[in-house]
Amino acid sequence: MPEDKEGTFEEEFQIIKDSLEELCRETKSLSVLLIDKAGQLITSAGNVSSLDIPSFATLSAADFAATSNLADLIGEHDFSTLFHQGARKSIYVSLIADKVILAVIFTKETTLGLVRIKVKKTAEKLANMFDRIFQTLESEYSGAVDDEFISEAETELDSLFE
Amino acid sequence: MALINYSSKEINCKIVYYGPGLGGKTTNIKHIYSKVNPENRGKLMSLDTELDRTLFFDFLPVDLGTVKGFSVHFHLYTVPGQVYYNASRKLILKGVDGLIFVADSQIERFEDNIDSIENLDDNLAEYHKKAEEIPLAIQYNKRDLPNIVSLNELEDALNPRGVFSCEGVATEGIGVFEPLKEVSKKVLRKLR
Ligand SMILES: Nc1nc2c(ncn2[C@@H]2O[C@H](COP(=O)(O)OP(=O)(O)O)[C@@H](O)[C@H]2O)c(=O)[nH]1
CA-nearest residue of chain A to B1? A138
**What fold characterizes domain A3-160?**
Beta-Lactamase (3.30.450)
Query: CA of B182 to nearest chain A CA: how many angstroms apart?
Result: 10
At B192 the pLDDT is 81
Nearest atom, ligand 1, residue B102 CA: 20
> ∠ CA(A30), CA(B10), CA(A40), 5° rounding?
55
In SS3 terms, chain A reads as CHHHHHCCCHHHHHHHHHHHHHHHHHHCCCEEEEEECCCCEEEEEECCCCCCHHHHHHHHHHHHHHHHHHHHHCCCCCCCEEEEECCCCEEEEEEECCCEEEEEEECCCCCHHHHHHHHHHHHHHHHHHHHHHHHHHHHCCCCCCCHHHHHHHHHHHHHHCC
Average pLDDT score over residue span B131-150: 95
Q: What's the pLDDT band for A1 if we cut at 50, 70, 90?
A: very low
Report chain A residues whose CB lies below 8 A from the CB of B192.
142-147, 149-150
| Alpha-carbon separation of residue A82 from A92, A104, A136 (angstroms) | 6, 11, 29
Q: What percent of chain B has pLDDT over 70?
A: 88
- Give me the CATH topology for the region B3-191: Rossmann fold (3.40.50)
pLDDT in tens, A48-72: 999 988 889 888 888 887 787 778 7
pTM equals: 0.82
Is it the case that residue A120 has pLDDT exceeding 90?
yes
What's the CA gap between A31 and A44, in Å, rounded? 7
Interface touch B68/A149, C-beta < 8 Å: yes
Q: Specify the higher pLDDT residue, B157 or B81.
A: B157
The structural domains of chain A, with segments of one domain joined by +, span 3-160
Is the model's pLDDT at A136 over the cut of 80?
no
What does the pLDDT read at residue A139?
59
CA distance B58 to B65: 22
Does residue B164 surpass a pLDDT of 60?
yes
CA distance A99 to chain B (A): 11
pLDDT-derived band at B50 (thresholds 50, 70, 90) equals low
**Residue A142 scores a pLDDT above 80:** no
pLDDT at A102 over 50: yes
Residue B24 CA to ligand 1 center (angstroms) comes to 4
User: What is the average pLDDT across B151-158?
Assistant: 97
Q: Does A138 touch chain B (CB under 8 A)?
A: yes
Dump pLDDT digits (tens) for B99-127: 999 999 999 999 999 999 999 999 998 87
Q: pLDDT: is A25 or A37 the higher one? A: A25
**So what's the pLDDT on residue A23?**
97
For residue B69, the model assigns a pLDDT of 83
Query: Residue A128 has what pLDDT?
Result: 86
Residue B3 has pLDDT above 60, yes or no: no
Between CA A118 and CA A116 the distance in angstroms is: 6
